[in-house]
Amino acid sequence: MPKPPPNPTSSADEFRVWRHPFRSLPTRLGFFVLAVTLCTSLVISTVSLRAIDSFLREKIQESFPAMLQRTGIELDFWYEDHKAIAAEFARDLISVGHLQDLLTDTSPSEKSFARTVVGRQLHSMLLEVPTFSSAFVRDGQGELLLWRGDELELPQSMRDPLASATFSRVGYSEGRYYQVTSTELEGTLGATLHFVFDLAVLAPVLRLHGGGMQGHISIVDAEQRYIASSSGERTASTYALPLPGDGAATRAVERIDDEDRRFIASSMPVGRHNWSLVIEEEYDLAFARVATAMRRVAGINLAIIAVFALIAYRFAVGLVRPVEALSRAARQMSNGEINIQLPRTASRDEVGLLTRAFSEMTSRIEANAREIEAANRHVEEVNAELRTRNDELHSANHVLAQLSITDGLTGLYNHRYFQDSLAKEAKRTNRTEEPLALILIDIDHFKRWNDSLGHAAGDAILKRIAEVMKTLLRSSDVLARYGGEEFALLAPGTSADGAQQLAEKIRRTIAETQFFINPPSERRNVTVSMGLSHYAGDKKQLFSEADQALYRAKDSGRDCVMVFEPNEGS
Tens place of pLDDT for every residue, the chain, 570 residues? 444 444 444 444 444 544 555 556 566 666 676 677 777 777 776 776 676 666 666 666 667 777 777 888 888 888 888 888 888 888 877 766 677 777 777 777 877 887 888 888 888 888 888 888 888 888 877 788 888 888 877 766 665 555 444 777 777 777 788 888 888 887 777 788 888 888 888 888 887 766 556 677 888 877 778 888 877 776 657 777 777 766 666 666 676 666 677 777 777 788 767 788 887 777 666 566 556 666 676 677 677 767 766 676 666 665 566 666 667 767 776 776 666 666 666 666 666 666 667 677 777 777 777 788 888 888 888 888 888 888 888 877 776 767 678 888 888 998 889 999 999 999 999 999 899 999 999 999 888 888 888 888 888 889 999 999 999 999 889 999 988 889 999 999 999 899 999 999 999 999 988 876 555 445 568 899 999 999 998 989 999 999 999 999 999 999 999 999 877 655
Tell me if domain 50-286 and domain 415-568 are identical in fold. Answer: no
Residue 502 sits at φ, ψ, to 5 deg, of -65, -45
Residue 21 sits at φ, ψ, to 5 deg, of -65, -40
pLDDT of 2 reads 45
pLDDT of 510 reads 92
In degrees, to the nearest 5, what angle opens at C-alpha 387 toward C-alphas 381 and 389? Answer: 110
What gap in Å lies between CA 376 and CA 385, rounded to an integer? 14
At CB < 8 A and 24+ separation, what contacts does 403-410 make? Answer: 407/480, 407/481, 409/459, 409/462, 409/463, 409/481, 410/462, 410/463, 410/466, 410/481
Q: CA torsion sign, 382 to 383 to 387 to 393?
A: positive
Closest among 123, 82, 116 to 99, alpha carbons compared: 116
Closest among 509, 544, 416, 408 to 463, alpha carbons compared: 408
User: Alpha helices of 166-287 — where are they, by DSSP H?
Assistant: 203-207, 283-286
Q: What is the DSSP letter of 214?
A: S
Closest among 532, 544, 527, 501 to 444, alpha carbons compared: 527
What gap in Å lies between CA 216 and CA 230, rounded to an integer? 5
Edge-to-edge strand order for the sheet containing 436-443? 478-481, 486-492, 436-443, 528-534, 561-563
pLDDT of 525 reads 80
pLDDT of 14 reads 45
Q: Determine whether domain 415-568 maps to CATH 3.10.20.90.
A: no
Reported as half-sphere exposure (CB side, CA atoms, 13 A), residue 71 has a value of 33
Quote the pTM value: 0.44
* 341, 344, 347, 352: CA torsion to nearest 10: 10
Q: Which residues contact 30 (CB under 8 A, 6 or more apart)?
A: 309, 310, 312, 313, 316
User: To which H or E segment does residue 63 belong?
Assistant: helix 25-96
Cβ pair 149, 135 in contact under 8 A: yes
What gap in Å lies between CA 327 and CA 331, rounded to an integer? 6
Q: How far is CA 503 from CA 260, 436, 491, 509, in A?
A: 72, 14, 10, 10
Closest among 432, 430, 429, 561 to 506, alpha carbons compared: 561
pLDDT of 545 reads 93
Cβ pair 549, 563 in contact under 8 A: yes
Position 72: which residue type? G
* 560, 566, 569, 570: CA torsion to nearest 10: -140
Q: End-to-end CA distance of the chain: give it in Å, rounded.
A: 98
pLDDT of 437 reads 94
pLDDT of 544 reads 92
- Going by their DSSP bridges, the two strands 528-534 and 561-563 should be labelled as parallel
Q: How far is CA 32 from CA 15, 290, 305, in A?
A: 20, 30, 11
- Going by their DSSP bridges, the two strands 192-198 and 176-184 should be labelled as antiparallel
Q: Which residues contact 342 (CB under 8 A, 6 or more apart)?
A: 5, 325, 326, 329, 355, 358, 359, 362
What gap in Å lies between CA 188 and CA 94, rounded to an integer? 9
Instruction: Region of 224 please: left (phi>0), alpha (psi -120 to 50) or beta.
Output: left
In degrees, to the nearest 5, what angle opens at C-alpha 418 toward C-alphas 413 and 424? Answer: 130
Quickly name the fold that domain 50-286 has: Beta-Lactamase (3.30.450)
Burial class of residue 303 (count of CB atoms within 10 Å of its CB; 0-12, 13-18, 19+) = exposed
Size of the chain in residues? 570
pLDDT of 22 reads 57
What gap in Å lies between CA 50 and CA 58, rounded to an integer? 12
DSSP string of 68-132, one letter each residue: HHHHHHHHHHHHHHHHHHHHHHHHHHHHHS-HHHHHS---HHHHHHHHHHHHHHHHHHHHH-TT-
DSSP string of 143-195, one letter each residue: -EEEEEES-----HHHHSPPSS-SB---EEETTEEEEEEEEE-TTSTT-EEEE
Q: Return the domain boundaries, the chain.
A: 50-286, 344-404, 415-568
